[in-house]
Structure 1
């Protein structure tokens, strides 16, 4: 049988959760996480585009520009989306996710219709998931419940 980890009386009185990292680490992660995800995404897009061929300078440039665009859009989404109402917040994440997956699929040589269909399917799934999450974690006025 499992039990919760013990907390000090002061932490219980504050009603806060245990935080392992400092505020400085969290601020650094707000930049490091989109950059790392952007590099992975850029490598993936460049690998899809070359389709197993040799790595060229243009392929590297494409990968880095894709990584830069992905990281900048993700940083903007992380900064601006929480200020939106829950419906628009979910739509923003759905559009970002659907567009990202559709772009990756289009780089692998798939047709435009399959790319658009996959993009819409992913966007619909992400919208449903995100809307449910935001709906269950906010009150009626749209304030987050902690």
Structure 2
């Protein structure tokens, strides 16, 4: 009885071709939403710590946090298909862990607490992403 070989169904580029990749709107929207969320979180954490009305320094920290996270998430989204799944999962875990650790330190946590929470969140995200990439590829 003849059987059919399973073929990968993902998009493959031939070597030597210079096809232009078309990016979906989700590739722009997801980093922007993450950046705005983290920026508002950072500004509000500083506002609640200091009390009173929001001043320029709190908004500046929020905007800088949003710009840096948005740029890193956007850049990682652009190069993720060139990375092996282990490195890709570790990159997402490192970005998540660094962001959560930074936001925890803004909230007044000690260095050890911020590093521990960031490391735990980064490891959990890295393992979840590795599982997702391993199952899908």
User: TM-score, normalized by length of structure 2?
Assistant: 0.76
- Distance apart, 1:33 and its partner CA: 2.6
> Superposed, which structure 2 residues align to 1:54-73 within 5 Å?
54-73=53-72
Greater shift after overlay, 119-128 or 108-117?
119-128
Q: 2:89 and 2:82 mapped to 1: Cα distance?
A: 12
> Superposed, which structure 2 residues align to 1:26-105 within 5 Å?
27-52=24-49, 53=51, 54-105=53-104
| Cα gap change, 1:129 to 1:33, in 2 (>3 Å) | closer
The runs of 5 or more residues in structure 2 that have no matched partner are 1-8, 10-21
CA RMSD of the aligned region, Å?
A: 1.8
Q: Deviations over 1:111-140 (max 9, x none)?
A: 0000000111111111111111111222xx
Higher relative contact order (CA 8 A, sep 6+): 2
User: TM-score, normalized by length of structure 1?
Assistant: 0.72
- Distance apart, 1:29 and its partner CA: 3.1
Q: 1:79 and 1:117 mapped to 2: Cα distance?
A: 29
Q: Deviations over 1:25-75 (max 9, x none)?
A: x63332233223211110101111222522001111111111111111110
Q: 1:81 and 1:29 mapped to 2: Cα distance?
A: 14
Q: 1:57 and 1:100 mapped to 2: Cα distance?
A: 22
The runs of 5 or more residues in structure 1 that have no matched partner are 1-14, 16-23, 139-146
Task: State how many pairs are aligned.
Answer: 115
Q: 2:35 and 2:121 mapped to 1: Cα distance?
A: 19
Q: 1:33 and 1:86 mapped to 2: Cα distance?
A: 20
